Amino acid sequence: MKKFFGTLAWILGIPAFIVIIFLIFGYCALKFNFWPPNCNSIPIKQARQVCEFSKLDKAPKGHPAKITFWVTVPFTTPTSDTVLLAIKGKDPVKMNRVNATTFQIILDLTTGDRLDYIYLRNSASSTSDDKQYIVKSFEKTIYDYVSVWSDLNMPRISKSLSPAVGMIDTWSINYNMQFFEDTRNNLDSTMARIKAIGGKEIGIYTLVEMFGNKDNFVVQEVAPMPTNIWGELHSKYMRDSSITENEMKKIVKIAKKYDLKTIIYYNIEADYTQYYDITLNPYSARGSGGNTSEDRAGTDFGRYDPKTKEWLDRYFSQLKTVLVALATRADKAGIYAIDISPRYKPPTVDPLQEYADTKWLDIITAVRGVYKGKIYADGNPTFRNSVDALSYPVNIKVRSGASIAEMRQGWATTLNNAQAELGSYNKPVFLSVRTASFDGATTGKGGMEFADYEEVAQRGYKRNWQEQADAYEAFFQEIIGKTFFEGFDTHYFAWDDLMGPEYTPVRYNDLAANIRNKPAEAVWKKWVLPIK
């Protein structure tokens, strides 16, 4: 019998040993970017995708490479002009015009090449600043920009406008549905990136959840659960949780390093886990059905139903408790501002808007009792004078295939309407630009929970990064000379460069309003960064 149990233990020990080795290797691979030479040897798709992404800029020298140069130029560039790419030691090559401010060309190069180059407008008498690039990938697109031509002035946005960056609304592990990820580990690298693109403020999302039925529902924060096997605190959603006081202190500490102000936003989300068991595949977290399950959970507590005073009393009483607790932590941590307007899918308050506004005023008073920082809101006409500034979401609606000029007219209408509505407001107004990067995002087509990648594919969403870049170009052109607004932000900025569906199953970075690692980021830098 002793021999039998010894043999059984030996047999069971082999797979256990293999699992342990795999877990150790996986942890080291994703934590320290240590991967095997051939990513195809990795059996799990998510890990294989991250492995492939990690090798993008690590190609061996001396191999053929196909590099696309995409460049956004000053809008004062005449449409009759030619733009050329001039690489040192090579003849200048004419670039293909994409639209009024965009040019592109694909070159056959060699990995390891160091390129010193400039862009020319017609000839060497009109140049960009000096640029450099080392070819490290077999295939890649460089999103570049020319702030100004050496012989041609370009109007600039006012230096008094404060640019800010709002992060993708996740806070926890597994934000791209990959192994071992943690937004908290990306704070320093993300803030360095924000500083590099000229940002002066960073906004980060915490989470509030709702669950229950219409007569008995709960509004509460999502406290981090005990550590998982990797030693990381997580929530039941795997990718969304509330920000703790210690985490806020860490955010403030790193933000000071990069001279950034800190803002806390919050989402309200229905507890979809009652209908979608993420424990069956915790690394997908949402997957197919997650978006539908969240909608179903919201219907349970009457998210969009006509409201009664009793329902609103229950809702605002609990929300007040949540926001006072949040503000207390934020005050101790030194957070610069809190935005009290809920995001994502907050419940409606119709037909009792005026009654709800009295509740908001009560919340603002309570928050001020524990918090010395700034309080922002989204522009509600009743209580806007009770907050310190407005974070005002803006977008445009134009025809499909609209030109930059047409988009600029769309922004003119949007900004003029905003100024007309807020004209009597004598406190700062910050415009929150949230143009997504899917085809039709500027036509009024609605988005969805892009983390629910299978449902996104089923509904036919496709990337259109050029449309997003054009919308930003038109926005910056139109905001020249505008003095009513004090700043602007780009929202849902990604925590890293991973893009779906090539390197992550999530389509969030790929299709949502994130500009990181896309053409729109080059447009942003062209307008926001100082001219070299």
What pairing do the DSSP bridges indicate for beta strands 374-377 and 337-339? parallel
Where are the chain's structural domains? 35-154, 162-434+462-528
- How far apart, in whole angstroms, are the C-alpha atoms of residue 495 and residue 509? 9
Question: From CA 16, how far away is CA 400, in angstroms rounded?
Answer: 56
What pLDDT score was predicted for residue 20? 61
Q: How many CA atoms lie within 13 A of 127 on its CB side?
A: 11
Predicted pLDDT at 275: 79
Contact partners, residue 430, CB within 8 Å, separation at least 6: 162, 164, 376, 389, 390, 391, 392, 485, 486, 487, 488, 489
Pairing status of strand 201-213 against strand 216-221: antiparallel
Whole-angstrom CA distances from 347 to 187, 248, 311, 350, 376 are: 31, 27, 11, 9, 19
Helix (H) or strand (E) holding 474: helix 465-479
**Can you give the pLDDT of all 532 residues of the chain as single tens digits?**
555 555 555 555 556 555 565 555 555 655 555 667 788 877 777 777 778 888 888 889 999 999 999 999 999 999 999 999 999 999 999 999 999 999 999 999 999 999 999 999 999 999 999 999 999 999 999 999 999 999 998 999 998 999 999 999 888 877 776 666 788 889 999 999 999 999 999 999 999 999 999 999 999 998 776 665 555 566 777 778 899 999 999 999 999 999 999 999 999 999 888 877 665 444 444 445 567 788 889 999 999 999 999 999 999 999 999 999 999 999 999 999 999 999 888 999 999 999 999 999 999 999 999 999 999 999 888 889 999 999 999 999 999 999 999 999 999 999 999 999 998 899 999 999 999 999 999 999 987 766 666 667 778 889 999 999 999 999 999 999 888 999 999 999 999 888 887 877 677 788 989 999 999 999 999 999 998 7
How far apart are alpha carbons 177 and 282 in whole angstroms?
8
DSSP string, 426-466: -S-EEEEE---SBTTTTTT-----TTSHHHHHHTT--B-HH
**Which CATH fold would you assign to the domain 162-434+462-528?**
TIM Barrel (3.20.20)
Helix (H, G, I), strand (E, B) or coil at 67: strand
* pLDDT tens digits for range 303-351: 999 999 999 999 999 999 999 999 999 999 999 999 999 988 899 999 9
CA 265 to chain centre: 13
Q: What percent of the chain has a predicted confidence (pLDDT) above 90?
A: 66
The answer to whether the CB of 133 falls within 8 A of the CB of 142 is yes
Task: Please list, in sequence order, all residues whose beta carbon lies within 8 angstroms of the beta carbon of residue 425, skipping any fewer than 6 positions away.
Answer: 384, 385, 390
pTM equals 0.91
Residue 301 tokens, joined: 């507590």
User: Could you give the C-alpha distances from 475 to 90, 155, 414, 468, 471, in angstroms and in order?
Assistant: 36, 14, 10, 11, 6
Distances in whole angstroms, Cα of residue 271 to Cα of each of 297, 317, 456, 482: 6, 19, 20, 42
Tell me the two tokens of residue 507. Answer: 């389509």
Q: Fold for domain 35-154?
A: Immunoglobulin-like (2.60.40)
Residue 229 has phi, psi (to 5 degrees) of -70, -15
Place of tokens 């009664």: 308
Summarize pLDDT for 186-242 with one digit per residue, the tens.
999 999 999 999 999 999 999 999 999 999 999 999 877 666 555 556 677 777 889
